[in-house]
Copies of this chain bind each other. A is one copy, B any other.
């Protein structure tokens, strides 16, 4: 993962967005769990390595935090960086009309 990974770049990929959806729905999944749920429940067919790299990007962006226990690594969704977007461009209640 060369260089800084921004939240924006991390979100600019449908697979990563689905991963976030999946973690938001069921937090604390391992890599293999994510792989299987992505194929069965989301119709995506990506290899383990691809998903692993996606998780690396998400983690580098701070959108996913991990916890390693034994030979397993659990992934948790961290929505905090998303607040940065709302902070930069306050959407407010007054959208364009």
Q: B-contacting residues of A (Cβ < 8 Å)?
A: 6, 8-9, 11-13, 17, 20-21, 24, 65, 76-80, 82-83, 85-86, 88-92, 94-96
Instruction: Kindly state the separation between the CA atoms of A91 and B79 in the bound complex, as whole angstroms.
Output: 6
Instruction: Kindly state the separation between the CA atoms of A17 and B92 in the bound complex, as whole angstroms.
Output: 18
Q: Is the CB of A79 within 8 A of B85?
A: no
- Copies of this chain in the oligomer: 2
Q: Is the CB of A91 within 8 A of B95?
A: no
Q: Is the CB of B96 within 8 A of A91?
A: no
Residues on the B chain within 8 Å of A13, using CB: 8
Min CB gap A95→B, angstroms: 4
Answer whether A80 and B65 are a contact pair too, CB < 8 Å, given A12-B9, A12-B12, A21-B88: no
